[in-house]
Amino acid sequence: MLTALIIDDEAPSRDELRALLAAEPDVQVLGECANAIEGLAAIHRLRPQVVFLDIKMPRLSGLEMVSLIDPAAMPHIVFVTAFDEHALKAFEEHATDYLLKPIEPQRLARTLNWLRSGGRPVSTLPAITSTEQLRQIPCIGRSKIFLLSLAEVEYVHTDLAGTQVVSDQRQGLTELTLKTLQERTPLLRCHRQYLVNTDQIAEIALLDNGAAEILTRSGKRVPVSRRYLREMKDRLLIS
Amino acid sequence: MFEQINHIALIGELMQQMCVYLVVAYLLSKTPLFAPLMQVTVRLPDKLVCYVVFSGFCIMGTYLGFNIEGAIANTRAIGAVLGGLLGGPVVGLAVGLTGGMHRYSLGGFSATACAVSTVTEGLIGGALHLFLMRRHQADRLLNPAIAFGTALVAEIAQMLIILLLAKPSDQAARLVAQITLPMVLTNSFGAALFMRLILDRRETLEKYSIAFSVKALRIAERSVGVLMQGFNAQNCSRLATIIQEETGVGAVAITDCDKLLGFVGIGADHHLTGTPISSPHTLSAIADNAVVYADGVSRPYRCKVHKDCRLGSCLVIPLRGEGNVVFGTIKLYEPKSKFFSTLNRTLGEGLARLLSNQVLAGKIEEQKRLLVQSEIKLLQAQIDPHFLFNALNTLAAVIRSNPDSARQLVQYLSTFFRKSLKRTGNDVTLADEVEHVNAYLSIELARFAERLQVKIDIPPELLGLQLPAFSLQPIVENAIKHGISQMLEPGCITIRAERSDGLLSVTVEDSAGLYQPQPDSDGLGMNLVNRRIKLRYGEAYGVQVTSERERFTRVAITLPLEAQALPC
């Protein structure tokens, strides 16, 4: 049994692919997502074996999304695109599987056979293993999906629900781990559970027990543990 | 009594000698050799010229002097002092040495003293040069009063040296008593006059170049853009008038390679626009691609059209276009009664360059227009492959789920292609444009389903108005491509049209507000629509974008309603 997830921003495309996959008895479609941000959450939640991924999607493209997937949850990726000369060239060069829209059933069958026989993961594509710096963090808020630009972010912390991204105005849950964010953004680790944007620091209050507390520009409080205080002082050139 | 007369006679004779000296200097000032002397020299070759010239004057001063009791009364000091003043201590020393050695070679009881004193004089000039340069007062070096003072000091020093070095001493004392006053006076005056000569020469040159620049600038200013509108009889006549007024020459003509395009001034009654070129000078200027100057004396100028023509000399300059190929000439004339000024001759050649450039710039403008036209044709023929494949993909899905809608979609698709590919005329009605856009949006509505909403609000009475074909669709396509398709939540496209104050404005607004100006790639379509409208109706019209981040992007096409005559 192959478990699959469809991520495409166009409803007719999703319907068509779902109809084609319905003809295959050993493929189970776990769900559909209309954008990459929801898609990222769904991959982490549903852990599908294969993801049919559209490239051109609003704000966060399919290629960018793959680079944000937690490596432990990395499924087989099959890119689906109507027309994208540059991406196709890259796929050809790195022997990555892709389907062209409108999808030809025979071509889909070949891809499925390759997957059933345990096809290779797609970690060879440079765009996918990228450690490029992020400019925006994809978030899911209470009723809205959005991208928070890094300049806006005040701090990030983890709690039971996951990784929370906090700005002056908004707050959202992201699929990215603190570790990924620390590696791919200039956010600074100040606590086991917190990263802070140094540009948003208004003041740092030193506490009696050797720890500290940051007051952000909008007046939010962020804890600094003793362990990270020294490193932070170095970064901010405070002796 | 006898000594008194001798004094005055000596002053007179030395003054005469100095006159000869200054005439030579004056003649020399007309040669290029003089140019480096007109400023304080810094460069090595200039210093060399300075050395050669002033050494020459030194030696000449000695030769022109005359013998008094075995010594020579002379104006040698001028060369040495001025050499030092203008060239600096090294040049001063070199001039002094050269002049001094020459004097020494002529012998006499004061030979040694004179040689030493000439070197000293050069050094005094040089010392002053150094002093003033250090204090950044270089222009004072050319001051005749300073030259006078320096020569005065130098001559007094010479007298002292003669008293000290020349033997026998009593003879030296007598000589000094006789020649001090005449030599000090003439040498000082001479140096001052020489300096004045240099200054005068400099001022003349400056006046000439100022007059030249003023004329050239005024002509350039008045003639800007005249020929850019085309190299034809009307523009050439306008230009000839400007040139004739500014240069004040007798007459000005502009020709192409066959005929006269404009003529203004003396003889305009028989030099008629449109007549073939008759002058052999003009024909040879065109054939040889060279300036022809008929001064009326060594090379005669005779009007071929009318035997009583008053014009007596002419200058013909070829106008050169791309690849230095001659495409016409500009001709300046003076009547028989007037001299052709060199200023106008030089100016004429500059003018020819100016006009050539203008014509070239006009051609480039024209080519730009043609390019935009062909780009539009390309745009019409070009359908975005993304759109095509996405449409086909949508169609594939809809065929499965709803065959009736699919049939409708195929209809829209064919309308869209027909409109895109078979645009014949340049202008279409707003109704045509809206139909094109409607077919396009119907397909996008099926593709984006609930993510897209479309509102078209165009008053029916505006539908008959004309606008350039293919103005609206590229803007709507941008709104989808860079707007709605980049939104995470549902979006809306609104198309409105309104008419006010003789203007038609059509606005396309999307609710994405993601517009980012990108000079090159910013939708070839939108730039092209903008450029085409500006080119055709003027800079006041075209495409204007207003955007508020994440709220809306509004693109307005504005064009005048009445001006629909020009083809584009």
pLDDT in tens, chain B (568 residues): 344 446 777 788 888 888 888 888 888 888 777 777 776 666 788 888 888 888 988 888 888 877 776 677 788 888 888 888 888 889 999 999 998 888 888 877 888 888 888 999 999 999 998 888 888 887 788 888 999 999 999 989 988 888 888 878 888 888 888 888 888 888 898 889 988 888 888 888 788 778 877 887 888 778 777 777 778 888 888 888 988 888 888 899 999 888 898 999 988 888 888 888 888 889 888 998 888 888 877 787 888 888 888 888 888 988 888 778 888 898 989 888 887 777 777 787 788 888 888 777 877 777 777 777 777 666 666 678 889 999 999 999 999 999 999 999 999 999 998 888 766 557 889 999 999 999 999 999 999 989 999 999 999 999 999 888 888 988 999 899 889 999 999 999 999 999 988 899 999 999 998 888 765 555 567 888 888 888 788 888 999 999 998 899 999 999 998 654 444 4
For residue A102, the chain B residues in CB contact (below 8 A) are 389, 392-393, 395-397
For residue B449, the chain A residues in CB contact (below 8 A) are 10-12
Of the candidates A83, A102, A146, the beta carbon closest to that of B396 is on A102
Tens-place pLDDT, residues B290-311 = 888 888 777 878 888 888 888 8
**Residues sharing a CB contact under 8 Å with residue B295, sequence separation 6 or more, in sequence order:** B301, B313, B340
What's the confidence (pLDDT) of residue B567? Answer: 40
E strand intervals along B171-307 = 251-256, 260-265, 292-294
Query: In percent, how much of chain A has pLDDT > 70?
Result: 92
Question: How far apart are the CA of B558 and the nearest CA of chain A, in angstroms?
Answer: 31
Of the candidates B392, B397, B488, the beta carbon closest to that of A58 is on B488
- Among chain B residues, CA nearest to A84: B386
Instruction: Indicate yes or no: CB of A13 within 8 angstroms of CB of B392.
Output: no
Tens-place pLDDT, residues A180-237 = 899 889 999 999 999 999 999 999 999 988 899 999 999 999 999 999 998 888 888 8
Q: Is the dihedral of CA A159, A161, A165, A168 positive or negative?
A: negative
- Burial (CB count <10 Å: 0-12, 13-18, 19+), residue A16: buried
Read off the tokens for A234: 């170095």
Q: Is B396 at the interface with chain A, CB within 8 A?
A: yes
Instruction: Indicate yes or no: CB of A83 within 8 angstroms of CB of B396.
Output: no
Question: How far apart are the CA of A163 and the nearest CA of chain B, in angstroms?
Answer: 21
Instruction: Indicate yes or no: CB of A15 within 8 angstroms of CB of B397.
Output: yes
**Residues sharing a CB contact under 8 Å with residue B210, sequence separation 6 or more, in sequence order:** none
ipTM attached to this prediction: 0.82
- Among chain B residues, CA nearest to A83: B386
For chain A, what is the largest distance between any 2 Cα atoms, rounded to a whole number of angstroms? Answer: 70
For residue A100, the chain B residues in CB contact (below 8 A) are 389
Instruction: Indicate yes or no: CB of B393 within 8 angstroms of CB of A12.
Output: yes
Q: Are B74 and B100 in contact (CB under 8 A)?
A: no
Instruction: Indicate yes or no: CB of B389 within 8 angstroms of CB of A83.
Output: yes
- Among chain A residues, CA nearest to B484: A58
Residue B461 or A123, more confident: B461
CA distances from A213 to A163, A189, A203 (A): 20, 13, 8
- Of B83, B33, B39, B37, the closest CA to residue B57 belongs to B83
Give this prediction's pTM. Answer: 0.56
